[in-house]
């Protein structure tokens, strides 16, 4: 068999880092969900993230890349991301981790369906057929006809739509913005959103000695996950990189079983494979 190129191996390493970061953020989010609401979690996550971005930007001299030219689009993008991330944090407090990650894999399928409306891209019939297969995978996961769907699955399904919208708007921004500019407005705007939403009731809970390390982990892991993913996609095509992302599902299932006594449901794995397989097929078809 041919040996993998060093560049591809580096991309795999970045993706493994992304997987660990995403699962770490999920665990940390669940650990603080009993003490902080989702708005407070987002407030402290953004505060940590902004400090990290400012430190990196100052150390590398890249803060000059931050521009206000596309501020309106940044605001719309971050409203979508803020909404999706809040729903995601709510979902991980209500549903098994494996189910949350499996349903989240529908985001690329929503990108496919929303791209004609937002970016004016054309979609072929075969891509729509593959998307239908992907959504069938969600039905396998949720099992809506055997019992009432978990509220957590409803929230993460809505989060997937918001993440898809975020990805589409990011695609529009990348033609004129650097990663530093996007991350600055991501953390800065969402810090403002979090402060407004968390403080609207006049009561913002502060992290204590127990929750503070988890809050910091959420902020660092959130940035690390997107940083690793971006670097992986720079080194290898999406069709090569994204199948590795499926590793999030078995890892999340293992963490849920070991630390939260969540049952290992074979249907979740099967549905996740179907959903992720459809998302990967659409990436291949879009080439």
What are the pLDDT digits (tens) for 1-52? 445 577 888 888 998 999 999 999 999 999 999 999 999 999 999 999 999 9
Contact 126, 285 (CB under 8 A): yes
Angle between helices 151-173 and 125-142 (to 10 degrees): 150
Higher pLDDT, 47 or 122: 47
Instruction: Please tell me the pTM assigned to this model.
Output: 0.89
Considering the chain, what percentage of its residues have pLDDT values greater than 90? 51
Above 70 in pLDDT, residue 148?
A: no
Least confident of 75-84, 205-214, 270-279: 270-279
What pLDDT does 286 receive? 66
Above 90 in pLDDT, residue 238?
A: no
Average pLDDT, the chain: 88
């Amino acid at each position: 068999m041919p040996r993998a190129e060093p560049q591809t191996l580096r991309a795999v390493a970045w993706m493994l880092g992304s997987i660990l970061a995403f699962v770490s953020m999920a665990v940390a989010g669940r650990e603080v969900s009993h003490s902080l609401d989702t708005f407070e979690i987002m407030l402290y996550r953004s505060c940590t993230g902004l400090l990290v971005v400012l430190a990196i930007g100052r150390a590398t001299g890249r803060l000059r890349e931050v521009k206000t030219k596309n501020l309106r689009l940044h605001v719309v993008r971050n409203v979508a991301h803020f909404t999706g991330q809040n729903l995601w944090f709510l979902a991980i407090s209500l549903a098994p981790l494996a189910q949350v990650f499996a349903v989240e894999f529908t985001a690329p399928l929503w990108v496919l369906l929303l791209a004609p409306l937002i970016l004016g891209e054309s979609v072929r019939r075969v891509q729509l057929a593959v998307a239908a297969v992907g959504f069938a995978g969600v039905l396998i996961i949720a099992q809506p006809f055997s019992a009432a769907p978990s509220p957590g699955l409803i929230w993460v399904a809505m989060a997937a739509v918001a993440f898809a919208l975020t990805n589409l708007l990011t695609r529009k921004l990348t033609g004129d913005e650097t990663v530093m500019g996007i991350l600055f407005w991501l953390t800065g705007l969402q810090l403002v959103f979090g402060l407004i939403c968390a403080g609207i009731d006049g009561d913002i809970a502060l992290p204590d000695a127990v929750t503070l390390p988890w809050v910091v982990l959420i902020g660092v892991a959130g940035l690390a996950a997107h940083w690793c993913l971006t670097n992986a996609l720079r080194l290898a095509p999406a069709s090569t990189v994204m199948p590795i992302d499926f590793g999030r599902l078995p890892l999340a299932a293992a963490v849920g079983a070991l630390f939260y006594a969540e049952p290992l449901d074979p249907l979740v794995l099967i549905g996740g494979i179907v959903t992720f397989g459809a998302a990967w097929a659409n990436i291949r078809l879009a080439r």
